[in-house]
Amino acid sequence: MNKPDTSSMEYKYGIFAKIARIYTGRDSNYWTNKQIKIWMDKNNVYYESTDKRVDLIERIKQAGYK
């Protein structure tokens, strides 16, 4: 199966689309830092417990996810 060319996606899809959602209330699809860390655990992406949201996103980018 062919994989799509991800070189031009610039962090608009996948995990980054989920992280970028705006909080619109309790019923929104907004991801909390805790949910992001759970995703990172499942995908073996290193983070520290003191990381803020910006740090978590940067670590995901450094791990090679687009």
Compute the residue count for the chain. 66
**Could you tell me how far CA 35 lies from the centroid of its own chain?**
9
The angle subtended at Cα 28 by Cα 34 and Cα 38, nearest 5°, is 20
Quick check: 56 and 33 in contact, CB under 8 A?
A: yes
pLDDT at 6: 56
- The DSSP symbol for 21 reads P
pLDDT of residue 38: 95
Q: What are phi and psi of 40, to 5 degrees?
A: -65, -40
Give the pTM. 0.75
pLDDT digits (tens, 9 = 90+) for 12-55: 677 888 888 888 888 778 889 999 999 999 999 999 999 999 99
Question: Which comes out higher in pLDDT, residue 62 or 18?
Answer: 62
